[in-house]
Structure 1
């Protein structure tokens, strides 16, 4: 009788069929922050760009949650998630994401929506856990071949300035989690090359490229946006099954500048996976 009473009280105060939308998952005793909205399958998982927390997806997640279940999360050391280890390699990042989803009983396969550096993580997740990925949408993705392209196109002096940006261009006020990610940025791009991470023909994939990027005032970064667009087009030529969308009115945060376009493309991938 006492157990039944306790169970009833628990139902009143906490519920048993619906989890709170804003909560924490413990990894090695460290709280990792996630937000869940919506219901249905497949689950859309948002993967933020370099240094960004899950709030970068606020508007987009609200819109997509109208048609299916969605999850966003703060990577370790970012937003409201506690720091994990210093190893911020892609192997660690995708392992942690998979652990968060598994420990919270969020079943796949998932549609991964990555932005910028989050696209590296999304692509590598699909490489390591292909059975857990139903679709991918990449928002103005970083591309590991851009470094080579810059070195091919720029002068020796410009390349020296470019390299110094990586070495000395970090803001001392960055949170520790962001500093740790920055430390691994180049080695993670090298990992994508070494592992020859490709786009599987079994996974519907859409790449959305920001076209309306402001030109950098730094000589060694001038023309980089056009290099990125050309490399995204090369992806399409190499992997014809992927869909490539040019967001003509967007800067780097495509999901902020052209939310409706991004939502529509995510919905198309959702439909493709359901069909």
Structure 2
């Protein structure tokens, strides 16, 4: 379905009913399709909302640069348009955790609980992931330029589709994003605004909050680290950053999920979705009776 608020038109998928509403906030470069398995699991006991941020998927274009703060305003715009009245739990993955955290920071008392899945962190971006991020930013610039020149249009769709290991529907979504200039403009803008997003989250992390907050860390961290020792050291630093999120809440907790990657921690198949769904349900049951 599509809903139009004051700041734009959003592509939204709503599943399930229940005494709480769960909003799923995508990571960078993802569409609501990211949540297909987890949304289905959670919809068995709650109303679950997934949506494309402006510039992604089937949502409309954006008019303001893609900082996490601006995207949090747009997220609130969506919530107001949907007229959500039940207790709201927001789940954010990766950069989506920035949008989630800013949503609670800018609109206190609107969010009843937050769950951050392998969230990015200002110090992580400024230190361990700096070179890795630069490479990804250059890739995004390259893809944006390729779409401007319409080079991606001449690439055989069947050949590209076979490069993806995902199921047919997922392949279609990834292929459509690959050939979308709107998509890559959005990715580039998010990267360009990462400095401001980092700064905004850094300021938000100075303020104590009193809502339940669960932070889940993937034990298999990605980045430019090689060897078991380096990977173990990277994980330790990421855990320290993630624990900072948890400490900022009077009801915060942190857990490292063994065997999970940055991609599987949001429930990228039926099994991982079932496991992550149970952790989210356990967290919600702590404050919703």
Q: Greater shift after overlay, 249-258 or 127-136?
A: 249-258
CA distances 1:166-195 after superposition (whole Å, capped 9, x unpaired): 763434325222222222112101111134
Distance 2:126 2:221 in 1: 21
1:260: which partner in 2? 274
Structure 2 unaligned blocks of 5 or more? 145-182
Taking the aligned partners of 2:19 and 2:43, their CA distance within structure 1 comes to 11
Match of 1:63 in 2: 41
Q: Quick check: 1:86–1:180 contact (8 Å CA) kept in 2?
A: no
Query: Is the 2:115–2:215 Cα contact (8 Å) retained in structure 1?
Result: yes
CA distance in 2, matches of 1:130, 1:28: 20
Moved over 6 A (4+): none
Of the three residues 258, 263, 267, the one matched with 1:248 is 258
SS of match in other structure, 2:261: coil
Match of 1:114 in 2: 92
Shift of 1:107: 2.1
Instruction: List alignment gaps of at least 5 residues for structure 1.
Output: 1-22, 152-158
Deviations 1:186-240 (A, max 9, x none): 2101111134454522x11111100023563689x97544421232234446657
- Deviation string for 1:124-169 (max 9, x for gaps)? 1111112111111111111112134449xxxxxxx7x568547634
TM-aligned CA deviation for residue 25 of structure 1: 0.9
Aligned in 2, Cα 1:239/1:42: closer, same or farther, shift over 3 Å? closer
Q: CA RMSD in A?
A: 2.7
* Per-residue deviation, 1:261: 2.7
> Structure 2 vs 1, CA of residues 180 and 260 (structure 1 numbering), >3 Å: closer, same or farther?
same
The separation in 1 between residues aligned to 2:250 and 2:110, in whole angstroms, is 23
Q: Deviations over 1:59-104 (max 9, x none)?
A: 0000000001110110000011111113222332111111111112
When residues 211 and 125 of structure 1 are mapped into structure 2, their CA distance, relative to the original with a 3 A threshold, is same
CA distance in 2, matches of 1:228, 1:90: 20
Instruction: State how many pairs are aligned.
Output: 243
Structure 2 contact 19–46 (Cα < 8 Å) conserved:
yes
TM-score by length of 1: 0.78
SS class of match (1:141): coil
User: Which aligned pairs between 1:54-93 and structure 2 lie closer than 5 A?
Assistant: 54-93=32-71
Aligned pairs (5 A) from 1:1-275: 23-28=1-6, 30-150=8-128, 164-165=134-135, 168-174=138-144, 175=183, 176-198=185-207, 200-201=209-210, 203-213=211-221, 216=224, 224-236=234-246, 241-253=251-263, 254-256=265-267, 258-275=272-289
> Partners in 2 of 1:249 and 1:217 — Cα distance?
17
Q: Is the 8 A contact 2:21 2:49 kept in 1?
A: yes
Secondary structure of 1:83's partner? coil
> Which stretch has the larger CA shift, 251-260 or 133-142?
251-260
